[in-house]
Chains A and B, each alone.
Chain A
Amino acid sequence: TQLLEQSPQFLSIQEGENLTVYCNSSSVFSSLQWYRQEPGEGPVLLVTVVTGGEVKKLKRLTFQFGDARKDSSLHITAAQPGDTGLYLCALLSLHGSSNTGKLIFGQGTTLQVKP
């Protein structure tokens, strides 16, 4: 079974600081998704990365997919209290030879941004 490891598990920073969250796998994955989950709510998809070396930006969030497609990172610039939440990476584990499957999630990184 392909597993995802996220680090760090917890992160508490001051508003305005930068941070990076990592997601690693021992196996190559075809695509990776990043979600943010706020307390009392379900996860919300932020981005999907598919191509090795791919970089995607979403305002102050930068997502990178490793060249070997075994790791990914999420970098937040000038964090704000509204960025507080649980950040989850997930890979699509395909079912048999089909192009559909299930998501396997990492354990998540809990981010707290203090004003």
Chain B
Amino acid sequence: KAGVTQTPRYLIKTRGQQVTLSCSPISGHRSVSWYQQTPGQGLQFLFEYFSETQRNKGNFPGRFSGRQFSNSRSEMNVSTLELGDSALYLCASSFSSTAVNSPLHFGNGTRLTVT
């Protein structure tokens, strides 16, 4: 069974540009969550999508957005990139919405560097 696949693995962008990250969940999983990981702030929740609907959102500015397609694949977009957006962006999938009985399976992340 294939795991969570994130593309691309590495990305270098310039301040002011926008970027789109992609996540393919485990087959059969309908929930996709996105997290940002930085050395200073650790892992922070961005948002969760379930059946193409945003279920939950973290405390990030509106420059961060996402969507989920009918096949459960998800994309995350960051517009007007800032240096502080440099981070590892992790996608996680679960069978149903994040809960005790529906554990998360993480991908290996996309490393975004903003220069």
A residues apposed to B, CB below 8 Å: 30-31, 33, 40-45, 48, 50, 88, 90, 92, 95, 98-108
B97 touches A100 (CB 8 A): yes
Cβ-neighbour of B48 out of A102, A104, A108 (below 8 A): A102
> CB distance B56 to A101 under 8 Å?
yes
Interchain CA distance A88-B48 in the complex, whole Å: 20
Task: Pick the residue among B48, B55, B106, B109 that contacts A44 (CB under 8 A).
Answer: B106
* B66, chain A: closest CB distance, angstroms: 14
- Residues of chain B at the chain A interface (Cβ within 8 Å): 4, 33, 35, 42-45, 48, 55-56, 58, 90, 92, 96-100, 102-109
Give, as a whole number of angstroms, the nearest-CB distance from B54 to chain A.
11
A43 and B90 in contact (CB under 8 A), knowing A33-B103, A102-B58, A104-B45?
A: yes
Q: Which residues of B contact A88 (CB under 8 A)?
A: 42-43
Q: A105 contacts which chain B residues (CB < 8 A)?
A: 35, 42-44
For the complex, give the distance between the alpha carbons of A2 and B53 in Å: 26
> Is A31 within 8 A of B100, CB to CB?
yes
Chain B residues with CB under 8 A of A107: 42
Do B104 and A99 touch (CB < 8 A)? Answer: no
Q: Is the CB of A40 within 8 A of B108?
A: yes
Q: Among B43, B90, B96, B99, which residue has the most Cβ atoms of chain A within 10 A?
A: B43
